[in-house]
Amino acid sequence: MTAAIIDGKAFAANLRAKVGELAAAFEAEAGRKAGLAVVLVGEDPASQVYVRSKGKQTVEAGMASFEHRLPAETPEADLLALVEQLNTDPAVDGILVQLPLPGHMDEQKVISTINPDKDVDGFHVISAGRLAVGQPGFVPCTPLGCLMLLKDRLGSLSGLDAVVIGRSNIVGKPMAQLLLAESCTVTIAHSRTQNLPEVVRRADIVVAAVGRAEMVKADWIKPGATVIDVGINRVPAAEAGKTRLVGDVDYAGAMDVAGAVTPVPGGVGPMTIAVLLRNTLVAAYRNAGLELAADAI
């Protein structure tokens, strides 16, 4: 048996196109563009790449992008003042502070300064609380992207056994909440879980968000299961001095057992920014007091 490949790249492109159409409709109705502000502190190379592609894709979707780059030694108070200013700026619907922040800054404090109605990253404790109790709010982009791929593949998830490996606040925990809200029976596994292969073998849905190259082996996977690989790990390539990206799942092995698998790269990765744009559009409609049909996006 060969598993189906879940094409996150194509799904994300469709989602961005849909956001683009709705962003044009929003502009016509509201008389302004939906706007996303991205704040980058310091010169972390990976963060610079992310911020650049976020800005580019925001503009391509027909929304306004406001980039704020601050030097690494910026006092925390200055960053907080910028966030406060963005909170009250009517042109800004979504605020994203790129993590990690330099060591002298308290990330939690910075995130809790963001107005929860502009928290398009979904990292604010109020966003986490809203997700936990089932109120409308913002859900972190990566797990929401995983859920979209799962629903596209499987339709209803009700009653399915789901195992999420990883319990971080940005992936594992919100992923588990989303699956629970879809009426899955959810297990959250982590570094202290005993008999992890056995736990994973029960699952109709496996979401691996660990950060360990190819940890999940083919014989951990229930035949026909749907496997979502969030992991991004850089490992040495066959060619000397080169590296390549792999996920948390042994992809080649999983292809022989699973029903469907996301590749790395090209699976979950492209979904994250597409969902960020989607969240920004939803924020824009809410902030402008305009209706967006629940099933619009």
* Residues in 169-188 at the binding interface with ligand NDP, rule: CB under 6 A: 170-172
In the bound state with ligand NDP, the residue whose beta carbon lies nearer, of 137 and 269, is: 269
Comparison of 47 and 168: residue with beta carbon closer to ligand NDP = 168
Q: Is 211 in the site for ligand NDP (CB under 6 A)?
A: yes
Stretch binding ligand NDP (CB under 6 A), from 62-70, 91-99, 122-130, 226-234: 226-234
Asked if residue 210 binds ligand NDP (CB under 6 A), the reply is yes
Q: Which is nearer to ligand NDP, 64 or 268 (CB)?
A: 268
- Contacting ligand NDP (CB under 6 A), which of 88, 156, 192, 294? 192
Among 36, 196, 260, 276, binds ligand NDP (CB under 6 A): 196
- Give residue 88's Cα distance to chain centre: 25
Element (H, E) at 56: helix 45-60
| Residues with Cβ within 8 Å of residue 97, at least 6 apart in sequence | 39, 41, 79, 83, 110, 111, 114, 121
d(CA 4, CA 36): 35
Between 209 and 281, name the residue whose CB sits nearer to ligand NDP.
209
| Alpha carbon distance 251, 245 (integer Å) | 12
Q: Is residue 142 part of the contact set for ligand NDP (CB under 6 A)?
A: yes
Catalytic residues: 54, 98, 121
Q: Is 268 a residue that touches ligand NDP (CB under 6 A)?
A: yes
Residue 232 binds ligand NDP, judged by CB under 6 A: yes
Q: Is 115 a binder of ligand NDP (CB under 6 A)?
A: no
The minimum distance between CB 98 and ligand NDP, in angstroms, equals 13
CB of 233 to ligand NDP, least distance (A): 6
Contact by Cβ (8 Å): 86, 256: no
Which residues 77-96 are close enough to bind ligand NDP by CB under 6 A?
A: none
E-strand stretches of 166-273? 185-189, 205-208, 226-229, 233-236, 243-246, 260-261
Structure tokens at 224: 């026909």
In order, the DSSP letters of 99-114 are SSPPTTS-HHHHHHHS
State yes or no: residue 167 binds ligand NDP (CB under 6 A).
Answer: yes
Pick the stretch among 27-35, 163-171, 254-262, 283-291 that binds ligand NDP (CB under 6 A): 163-171
- CB burial class (10 A; 0-12, 13-18, 19+) of residue 30? middle
For ligand NDP, the nearest residue by Cβ is 168
> What is the rounded distance in angstroms from the CA atom of residue 83 to the CA atom of residue 196?
42
Residue 268 is classified by DSSP as S
Cβ pair 141, 178 in contact under 8 A = no
Q: Minimum distance between the CB of residue 30 and ligand NDP, rounded to whole angstroms?
A: 30
Check binding of 8 to ligand NDP (CB under 6 A): no
**Sequence-distant (≥ 6) Cβ neighbours of residue 57 within 8 angstroms:** 16, 273, 274, 277
138 — phi, psi (to 5°)? -105, 135
Shortest distance, position 199 Cβ to ligand NDP, whole Å? 10
Of the pair 64, 96, the CB lying nearest ligand NDP is at 96
| Residue ranges in contact with ligand NDP by CB under 6 A | 142, 165-168, 170-172, 189-193, 196, 209-212, 230-233, 268-269, 272
